[in-house]
Amino acid sequence: MRVFSPFTSVVIPIPKENDGRPLPMLLLVAGGQAVFYTDADGKLKFMKDEEEEEEEEEKERKKKKKKKKKKKKKKKKKKKKKKKKKKQIRRN
């Protein structure tokens, strides 16, 4: 992989479980800060993008949990039964 950068760059493989695909590679720029890497499929990904994606996923999970907590069961109103008036029998 060729990278044009004013800094010195080094490519270091990340040890992960090998499932037959090529191991992901991490590109480090001078200072040890990771800039971008190639994933197992060979696609170039930026570290900042991945961190932002993880943060967004965490926020979505938290929102889902909050939504679940907000939902309350509505109490069913009991219908009042009308009492029948007893007819009084008049005795004369």
For the stretch 4-32, pLDDT in tens is: 455 555 565 555 565 666 655 655 555 55
Confidence at 34, pLDDT banded by 50, 70, 90: low
Which residue type does 48 have? K
| Residue from 22, 25, 29, 23 nearest 12 by CA | 25
**What's the whole-number average pLDDT of the chain?**
67
pLDDT digits (tens, 9 = 90+) for 62-86: 888 776 666 677 777 777 777 777 7
In the predicted model, is pLDDT for residue 43 greater than 70? yes
**Hey, where are the domains in the chain?**
1-52
Distance CA 34, CA 24 (A): 13
